[in-house]
Amino acid sequence: MTSELQLWFDPSKCLIAGEWVAPVGGQVLPLIDPSTGQDIGAIARGQEADIAAAVAAAEAARHGPWGRLSAAERGRILLTLSRMVAARADDLARIEAIDVGKPLKQARADAVALARYCEFYGGAADKLHGQTIPYMDGYTVYTLREPHGVTGHIVPWNYPMQIIGRSVGAALAAGNTCVLKPAEDACLTALAFADMAKAAGLPDGVLNVVPGLGAEAGAALCAHPGVHHISFTGSVQTGVQVQMAAARNVVPVTLELGGKSPQVVFDDADLEAALPFLVNAGIQNAGQTCSASSRILVQRGVYDRVVAAMAARYQGLQVGSALADLDVGPLISRKQQAIVSGFLDQGQDLQIVGQGQLVNAPNGGNFVRPTLFAGVAPSHALARDEIFGPVQVVIPFDDEDEAVAIANGTDYGLVASIWSRDGARQMRLARKIRAGQVFINNYGAGGGVELPFGGMGKSGHGREKGFEALYGFTVLKTVAAYHG
Ligand code: NAD
């Protein structure tokens, strides 16, 4: 392990029932630094037996002290955890930067968001309740919101801390126990978080972490009959497999599968306000963001101005290792670098109007130059498929109807934004555009944890974040009492 990476736990182990244990098979996977390509350690390669142990621990824990805590007591543990995460934000950011290749400032924002999720769900735990229902004379009817039981969480490598915060945080607040399978490419902050949760007073077995490969530990978690709910974030292809596995056990699934999110810029937009968002929303985390804005739709009256301003911003983008903390870091893996390079090859016949510069990019790191294409047809692969790299396309349009048709013209529907000063148009388009979140004259609204988030179409189903996530992590029971 390099001296740059300072861990207080052993990532070649799993955390099961409150104990750090080596995987039953004794196997490990390499820990690769995306900024250098160097092998800097080993992580656990958990498999079916480890998942089985983790599910058993989570099942036991829900019948132990955790199951008897009041909602307020559960909330207090999350609030303590929130303070601990905030206090160690710099340590977590450094670990994440090295593990994911994310520029340090962006990694720190993720750690702060994780603390905020724990704060939000800690505060919400005792505000989640059922309802009374007026019914026939002689009856009192009410609903109870009960935890599912053991929840499985499969997390990708792009935003481990934020995705753990929004799924595990909500699941715990609602009284569930958890088995977390982080991504094989980035599992360190998941282990760090679970260790901190134990120190915050979370009873043993309530949160178990089993790192490992998707096809082994991930598939075993989805297939396990003792899991009562699955939350998955990742690719469409894997999401389909996860849903099929869950269907065999008839358990609910939340799928968050990415997107091809548009920003739609009209002639009457405040361009000064829009321009920073247009590029930043595409290159943050090197474009490896499910809600990345990879399509910029621009009305013809301001098209040349917008393209020129975005191109100038691209020319100034600096690319380098995570700890150099520039605009854009490396991609997560060689595999991802090859996928993004393949898309750039497909754009050879298109007009490249701006590219970032490699300024601190060690040989062996998974770097690509951020690239802006203009004048792209909506039917082109670069305008249709999720690239998951720092690549954006600009697409011209004439009028509102055409803008809506292009915006809705992919399989996805995660996020969209409308830039216009016309209030009626803002309202019309917010209804017509197919997306789980629509932003007006901004993009992302600062990522607020309070804002329900999730997709339409192949972006998935179910909602995380906000109170909606708490409803998703509970099952509703109706009680009808006849008392005459
Ligand atoms: P993936 O879907 O293969 O991996 C995501 C998570 O699922 C990882 O923890 C992985 O171990 C696990 N997994 C893989 N196969 C599994 C299986 N059969 N059963 C259960 N779990 C399994 O994604 P990837 O290969 O890491 O990335 C490929 C593409 O996925 C990217 O190019 C991107 O388009 C998309 N992606 C989207 C998001 C998002 O936030 N929506 C995140 C990461 C990746």
Q: Does 388 sit in the ligand 1 pocket, CB within 6 Å?
A: yes
Taking alpha carbons only, the member of 27, 201, 2, 167 closest to residue 95 is 2
Q: What is the pLDDT of residue 4?
A: 83
Q: Does 258 sit in the ligand 1 pocket, CB within 6 Å?
A: yes
Residue pair 440/430 in contact by the 8 Å Cβ criterion: yes
Mutate which of 166, 209, 235, 294 for ligand 1 pocket (most atoms within 8 A of beta carbon):
235
Chain centroid to Cα 103, Å, comes to: 17
Q: What is the pLDDT of residue 2?
A: 53
Q: Does 455 sit in the ligand 1 pocket, CB within 6 Å?
A: no
Q: Does 156 sit in the ligand 1 pocket, CB within 6 Å?
A: yes
Q: Does 219 sit in the ligand 1 pocket, CB within 6 Å?
A: yes
Give the number of other Cβ atoms within 10 Å of residue 21's Cβ.
16
Show which residues are catalytic: 256, 290
Cβ-based neighbours of 118, under 8 Å, separated by 6 or more: 78, 79, 81, 82, 85, 165, 169
Residue pair 189/96 in contact by the 8 Å Cβ criterion: yes
Q: What is the pLDDT of residue 3?
A: 56
From ligand 1's centre to the CA of 369, what distance in Å? 23
- What residue's CA is closest to ligand 1, atom 22? 214
| Sign of the CA dihedral with 478 first, then 481, 482, and 484 last | negative
- What residue's CA is closest to ligand 1, atom 42? 234
Q: What is the pLDDT along the chain (484 residues), one digit of tens a residue?
A: 555 899 999 999 999 999 999 999 999 999 999 999 999 999 999 999 999 999 999 999 999 999 999 999 999 999 999 999 999 999 999 999 999 999 999 999 999 999 999 999 999 999 999 999 999 999 999 999 999 999 999 999 999 999 999 999 999 999 999 999 999 999 999 999 999 999 999 999 999 999 999 999 999 999 999 999 999 999 999 999 999 999 999 999 999 998 999 999 999 999 999 999 999 999 999 999 999 999 999 999 999 999 999 999 999 999 999 999 999 999 999 999 999 999 999 999 999 999 999 999 999 999 999 999 999 999 999 999 999 999 999 999 999 999 999 999 999 999 999 999 999 999 999 999 999 999 999 999 999 999 999 999 999 999 999 999 999 999 999 999 999 9
